[in-house]
Amino acid sequence: MNSFGRLFRTQLFGESHGPYIGLVIDGCPPGIPLSEDDFLADLGRRKAGARGTTPRKEDDLPQIISGCYKAYTCGTPLTILFANKNVRPGDYAHLASIPRPGHADLVAQQRFGGFNDPRGGGHFSGRLTLALVAGGVVAKKILSGIDISAKLIQAGGQKDIDLAVEQALSDGDSIGGVVECRANNIPAGWGEPFFDSAESVISHLAFSVPAIKGIEFGSGFQAAAMKGSEHNDPIINKKGETASNNSGGITGGLTNSNELVFRVAVKPTSSIAKKQKSLNMETGKMANLTIKGRHDACIALRVPVVIEAITAIALADFKLLSEAFGGATVKT
Amino acid sequence: MNSFGRLFRTQLFGESHGPYIGLVIDGCPPGIPLSEDDFLADLGRRKAGARGTTPRKEDDLPQIISGCYKAYTCGTPLTILFANKNVRPGDYAHLASIPRPGHADLVAQQRFGGFNDPRGGGHFSGRLTLALVAGGVVAKKILSGIDISAKLIQAGGQKDIDLAVEQALSDGDSIGGVVECRANNIPAGWGEPFFDSAESVISHLAFSVPAIKGIEFGSGFQAAAMKGSEHNDPIINKKGETASNNSGGITGGLTNSNELVFRVAVKPTSSIAKKQKSLNMETGKMANLTIKGRHDACIALRVPVVIEAITAIALADFKLLSEAFGGATVKT
Amino acid sequence: MNSFGRLFRTQLFGESHGPYIGLVIDGCPPGIPLSEDDFLADLGRRKAGARGTTPRKEDDLPQIISGCYKAYTCGTPLTILFANKNVRPGDYAHLASIPRPGHADLVAQQRFGGFNDPRGGGHFSGRLTLALVAGGVVAKKILSGIDISAKLIQAGGQKDIDLAVEQALSDGDSIGGVVECRANNIPAGWGEPFFDSAESVISHLAFSVPAIKGIEFGSGFQAAAMKGSEHNDPIINKKGETASNNSGGITGGLTNSNELVFRVAVKPTSSIAKKQKSLNMETGKMANLTIKGRHDACIALRVPVVIEAITAIALADFKLLSEAFGGATVKT
Amino acid sequence: MNSFGRLFRTQLFGESHGPYIGLVIDGCPPGIPLSEDDFLADLGRRKAGARGTTPRKEDDLPQIISGCYKAYTCGTPLTILFANKNVRPGDYAHLASIPRPGHADLVAQQRFGGFNDPRGGGHFSGRLTLALVAGGVVAKKILSGIDISAKLIQAGGQKDIDLAVEQALSDGDSIGGVVECRANNIPAGWGEPFFDSAESVISHLAFSVPAIKGIEFGSGFQAAAMKGSEHNDPIINKKGETASNNSGGITGGLTNSNELVFRVAVKPTSSIAKKQKSLNMETGKMANLTIKGRHDACIALRVPVVIEAITAIALADFKLLSEAFGGATVKT
């Protein structure tokens, strides 16, 4: 399934070199002011162009084709398209025989019996994150009053991002990074005790973003090395605010009114200019592989806005769910 | 929602000090040999009793009350109950006024408008993981040929688990840990490119386990500090096996025929013998809190079998899904 | 799947001659007063005992085993069990070889590969409607202010129900009937334009009740013979009330503030005392079949409360959904 | 929600006078030959043009924008667009103040807080059935070997359809009709005992088609007047074929290997040339209403192919589900 969400439900579609990629949001409340311009700021943050990002450039202009009337959402399915224009199918022709390491070339064939569109990764392309960002723009509007902000805090193991990127570029190599996301003013009580815990839903969406290989909330992996007396966050007021925030804003699967804090690990871009080894599927022998085309030295540079988007998508669904059940928060 | 899964669907229910906790599995195929004895080994591994685990002991004997006939699954909803016997409601009476740090006491009240069952954490209790383990036993039967094995590889920041546990016990404190799970013989192509990536579904289920605060696949957070030329796993045969396994067995959201490897961070048990500070909700002032009752110094000791269970639940669903779509794997 | 509902979600389980049948309601709001006594009136209406109903009698006492604390719903999964006590497995032993006409004996074997529990119809038993009635009791509480009332308006083609039942009894035969359901005070705007139209969801649930073979809303099949000028209901006030009610209270898939009216066709009970023909699966030849056991001459007598229940279940879900999306009704 | 299906999942979107209407099919297996030409025959059957259908004409040419590569489905989300070209927004401008009887004008405002697109019925338009027909074309390909055929068997209460249509046209009125659908070669065992019975799923989809107000399977409402000894279908061979087919091919919620037979009641088109009364929402008084625009005297003429489509959509999902669970049919 390429859809997610219980009330605010996002359906992705499209292939990198097909005519369009896009999304349908089913469950968007009516009456939200929305125009195509509203998407440009976040789409711009995802865009390539900066040092260390791919030279493939697309206009990335959204077309709203349903669910919006006179610049307000209708409450009906909201569909947004992005045309694929800057397409170079020739770059990818040889990949059927030598699958690129780290890419989905081979597993896509295995999963879809060889019927997948191989051009530019097809449906597996990072280009689909455009649709996630667009969904995030709508979700953020539902979450008025809640601030969500993500940034790249480390790349290639270094805190000096620029330095690390320049090094990768000069090596013809790529680097990974760590993105941290923080969100404030989330009411207490969003989430569920087990299967739809706030961590469960956010992580589900975070791992939908290509290249994400880890996630941790609050103290995360460090918590594993802590004592309970250090890790427990003392509650200091009736709202539930705590003196420390090792929990990252989630207790028992529910938001606890403190800042939501989590970090994701972004693996290095799989496409690198350096020569690599992989199997030639036709000969059955190892072969040298040099990947041409246009790629990111540090895809993590473009990830923060995507992580904000998936956070907003998760929280928008929780907000609608909490309203369904009476927004039950104790009146203290 | 307290249910999860698209075809193999698990519904949890119950409160720690109610008459029963349990689960319904809807979507269990017919014809699987199953008796109550089949659960005992895994339930035994979850049980308390070892050094560092709570002295609360329960028989934890499952009762299959539907979906099983003459020791085979019927294909109809499979319901399993666990009676709560060793209950001491008195221990928890005072918690309504002073919420325990790290516990869901306050958020549960906020989420459910004060109508939650506060005894022993109610529905938030770690006791519900019994139901997860039971679901895992059934799922493992569906996955015959696939080996899943999890173990505690670190506690309190140390690799010598026993030493760390003894220290925590003597301190009247608790410690966290890291559990690693590995699974072999998983076919290539299970999962989806975006929302239901293998990482998404496994992490969704992993964060349903109380106390889990982080997850990473393959090289995980280390990948963020690596170069593409180091991280890319060279494909060495047509099946898709790779020379290294930085991907942890998942590429593009799909299993890639290599060993599935992931680690979860378990926070230290929130209940500790040491005196703590928390808010007295009645007086609005900070108060001292000493938690009595029966608790685990290192809950992570009991987590491995639960992580195996959620892995099996995730994979069983993927297996059924792959059969629905023709089990499409390229015949090479 | 044996679960239904988007927010108010009902999961059925159990076999007729297993230890229990029951249900889990996931998505029941917290704070609803609920005790086991609340179920007795509706369960009593479903019960056998009247002329024309089976002499099998069960206490049908519900046991709430989760999701309820101090006589209020907790907001967590609500599980209700009914013990099967008055069981006579011997009656059904011979049915494996000669499937009863009109019953699921053969299709159940085909569907579940022969692993189904054949005793008393197993999971296919009408006894499972106990769980639907229990779900309806909870749903009705969510719908305070809305009246739902169903009755048998025709049996065996006659409006004099008693007369028709006596005739069937004296013939050793069974008869069908028509049940009409009406519900008042439903706000306008519940439902969806297409897939989850109010008719779609109600019919989905109505056909979950064994023996239902038809449903019509408002003028229903008669509408097919009407002219637009006769069928169109003139709107007479801003609330949307209409002079006539051919629509049965639903326009464009949405409730329209008029009385909800629909009728279901109940087929005659398949089990009859009369001798019948069916295939002997062992010999491959036609055989005489005389069904013993305890059966209803007119199962339709017991259906009205079940139809009320499924109506309430459908409406409760719509109510929660409408609250999620702001309960958007125009303030005129 | 405007999506339906568990594995073969259809998402509708679009408004009558927006740029496009369309659908996404998520869960379409890979490797199905598919081109835009494949849709033309069924789309042609739905098209207006015949006596008694609206003079609004559209090309209705589908554009496949994702999920298809080199004329085969990829297994990824399949998106199909239909451009709205022949649009006359002016016809509908006055409807905001005087809602048309039988139409969704008022409930749409109530449901969506006045933010719905009122032009041509917006998302409520019968034009959305284009997307259903397109979904049906894909579903039929999945069901190779199964024949589905629907026809109009009655209009305006008469079996002579043409006569009835001419009468309606000369009256400036509209008429309803009854459509019967038959499907052959369906294996036994598709469906579920309760919530997802074959009748439940088919009726859910049938009531998604605008103007449908009743459905009956097999003998349907006539069964309510029958005796068990008449209605029971004697099983005559091991496959489960029966001498009569009062069940309409479904027993206990499951297909039983006999012909699937059901009928739907189509109400008369709500838009008629005749003068009608309705409320003027601005004055609060009753007003005369004459509907201009282009409409069908007998929309039922165009319904058969839509009913075939929803039947195929229901059966395609059941087929995939049956494959997931081993296609368990007893080997006799």
* Rounded-to-integer distance, Cα C102 and Cα C270, Å: 5
B91 pLDDT above the threshold of 80: no
B323:D324 CB<8 A: yes
pLDDT attached to residue B28: 97
CA distances from A298 to A57, A163, A215 (A): 16, 12, 18
Closest listed residue to residue A14, CA positions, set A88, A125, A89, A91: A125
CA distance to partner chain D, nearest, from residue A253 (Å)? 26
What subunits touch chain D, counting only 3 or more CB pairs under 8 A? A, B, C
Question: pLDDT per residue over A99-132, tens digit each?
Answer: 999 999 999 999 999 999 999 899 999 999 999 9
Percent of chain B with pLDDT over 90: 85
Q: What is the DSSP string of B211-239?
A: TEEEEEETTGGGGGGSBHHHH---B-STT
Chain B residues closer than 8 Å to C20 by CB: 65-66, 79
Q: In this predicted structure, what is the pLDDT of residue A295?
A: 79
Q: What pLDDT was estimated at residue B332?
A: 36
Contact C323, C317 (CB under 8 A): no
Give Cα separations from C314 to A23, B249, C41, C142, C199 (angstroms).
Answer: 29, 43, 20, 11, 10
SS3 call for B316 = helix
Cβ separation of D1 and A72 shorter than 8 Å?
A: no
pLDDT band at A330 (very low <50, low <70, confident <90, very high): very low
CB-closest option in D195, D225, D272 to C176: D225
Q: How far apart are CA C31 and CA B43, in angstroms?
A: 34
Q: What is the ipTM of this complex?
A: 0.96
Size of interface B-D (CB pairs under 8 A): 46
Distance CA A316, CA A300 (A): 25
Does the distance separating the beta carbons of D173 and C227 come in below 8 Å? yes
3-state secondary structure of B104: coil
Give DSSP secondary structure letters for B58-95. Answer: ----EEEEESEETTEE-SSPEEEEEE--S--GGGGGGG
pLDDT of B330 over the 60 cut: no
Note the pLDDT of residue D59: 81
DSSP E strands, chain A? 3-4, 9-14, 20-26, 62-66, 68-69, 72-73, 78-83, 147-155, 177-184, 212-217, 250-251, 254-255, 260-266, 276-280, 285-289
The pLDDT of residue D110 is 94
Q: What is the pLDDT of residues D71-101, one digit of tens each?
A: 999 999 999 999 998 776 665 656 668 999 9
> How close, in Å, is residue D250 to chain C by CA atoms?
9
Q: Does B70 touch chain A (CB under 8 A)?
A: no
- Cite the beta strand spans of chain D per DSSP E: 3-4, 9-14, 20-26, 62-66, 68-69, 72-73, 78-83, 147-155, 177-184, 212-217, 250-251, 254-255, 260-266, 276-280, 285-289
Question: Which among D9, D194, D320 is the top mutation candidate for probing chain B, defined by the most B β-carbons within 10 Å of its own β-carbon?
Answer: D320
pLDDT in tens, B142-167: 999 999 999 999 999 999 999 999 99
Q: Which of B124, B235, B270 sits opposite A106 (nearest CB)?
A: B235
Whole-number Å distance between alpha carbons of C229 and C224: 13
Report yes or no: A104 and B254 within 8 Å, Cβ to Cβ. yes
Q: Is D65's CB within 8 Å of A12's CB?
A: no
- Residue of D104, D176, D199 with shortest CB distance to C223: D176
DSSP per residue, D204-245: HHHTTSTTEEEEEETTGGGGGGSBHHHH---B-STT--BSS-
CB crowding D64-102: b at 16 or more within 10 Å, else e? bbbbbbeebbbbbbbbbbbbbeeeeeebbeebeebbbbb
Number of alpha helices (DSSP H) and beta strands (DSSP E) in chain A: 7, 15
pLDDT confidence of residue B238: 94
Q: Residues A196-245: pLDDT tens digits?
A: 999 999 999 999 999 999 999 999 999 999 999 999 999 999 999 999 99
Q: Is the confidence at residue A17, as pLDDT, over 70? A: yes
pLDDT tens per residue, range C183-230: 999 999 999 999 999 999 999 999 999 999 999 999 999 999 999 999
Position C92 confidence tier, pLDDT thresholds 50, 70, 90: low
The count of C-alpha atoms lying within 13 angstroms of the C-alpha of D241, restricted to the half-sphere facing its C-beta, is: 9
Average pLDDT in the A140-156 region? 97
Residue showing tokens 């319901």: B79
Nearest-CA distance D143 → chain B (Å): 13
Give the residue from D247, D315, D323, D286 showing the smallest Cα distance to D99. Answer: D286
**How far apart are the C-alpha atoms of C22 and D118, rounded to whole Å?**
46
Q: From CA B305, how far away is CA B327, in angstroms rounded? A: 28
Those of residues 80-109 in B touching chain D at CB distance below 8 A are none
Give CA angle at A200 (A195, A205), nearest 5°: 130
pLDDT for the residue C296? 87
Structure tokens at C226: 């009407």
**Spatial CA neighbour of C60 closest among C33, C35, C79, C39:** C39
Query: Does the distance separating the beta carbons of B326 and D29 come in below 8 Å?
Result: yes
pTM: 0.97
Dihedral Cα C149, C153, C156, C158, nearest 10 deg: 170
Are D38 and D137 spatial neighbours (Cβ–Cβ below 8 Å)?
yes
Work out the minimum CA distance from A124 to partner chain D, whole angstroms. Answer: 10
Q: C123 — contact with chain B (CB < 8 Å)?
A: yes
Chain D contact for A141, CB < 8 A? no
Q: What residues contact residue B193 under an 8 Å CB cut-off, 6+ apart?
A: A2, A104, A108, A123, A124, A128, B252, B253, B254, D76
What letter does residue A33 receive in the DSSP assignment? B
Three-state DSSP class for C11? strand
Contacts of residue A173, defined as CB under 8 A and 6 or more positions apart, other chains included, come to A268, A272, A273, A274, A297, B227, B228, B229
Q: How far apart are CA D122 and CA D47, in angstroms?
A: 19
Q: Shortest CB distance from D113 goes to which of A30, A67, A115? A: A30
- Does pLDDT of D261 surpass 50? yes
pLDDT for res B327? 53
Q: Which chains touch B (3 or more CB pairs under 8 A)?
A: A, C, D
Interface test with A, best of D74, D87, D127 (most A CBs within 10 A): D74
- Number of B to C CB contacts under 8 A, please give it: 157
pLDDT, residue A49, reads 72
Neighbours of D61 (CB within 10 A): 14
User: Tens digits of per-residue pLDDT, D133-162?
Assistant: 999 999 999 999 999 999 999 999 999 999
Q: Residue B250: pLDDT above 50? A: yes
CB-based contact (8 Å) between D24 and chain A? Answer: yes
- Chain B residues near residue D73 by CB distance under 8 angstroms: none
Q: Could you read off the pLDDT of C12-63 as tens digits, one per residue?
A: 999 999 999 999 999 999 999 999 999 999 999 988 777 888 766 778 899 9
Note the pLDDT tens digit of each residue in B251-309. 999 999 999 999 999 999 999 989 999 999 999 999 999 887 777 899 999 999 999 99
For B:171-190, CB contacts with A below 8 A are 171, 173-178, 188-189
Q: Which residues of A touch C328 (CB under 8 A)?
A: 29-31, 75
| Amino acid in the structure at residue C218 | G
Of A30, A76, A328, the CB nearest to C30: A328
How close does chain D come to C202, measured CA to CA in Å? Answer: 8
Return the residue in B4, B235, B288, B303 with the most chain A beta carbons within 10 A, the one to mutate for interface testing.
Answer: B235
In this complex, which chains have at least 3 CB pairs below 8 Å with chain C? A, B, D
Asked whether the beta carbons of residue B234 and residue A175 sit closer than 8 angstroms, the reply is: no
Answer whether CATH 3.60.150.10 is correct for domain D3-324: yes
The yes-or-no verdict on residue D215 having pLDDT over 50 is yes
* Tokens coding D28: 């379409």
B76:C19 CB<8 A: no
**3-class DSSP state for residue B124?**
helix
Contact partners, residue D37, CB within 8 Å, separation at least 6: none
Which among A325, A330, A331 is the top mutation candidate for probing chain C, defined by the most C β-carbons within 10 Å of its own β-carbon? A325
Q: Are B136 and B142 in contact (CB under 8 A)?
A: no
pLDDT at C95 (0 to 100): 62
Tell which of D3, D7, D196 to mutate to test the B interface (max B CBs under 10 Å): D7
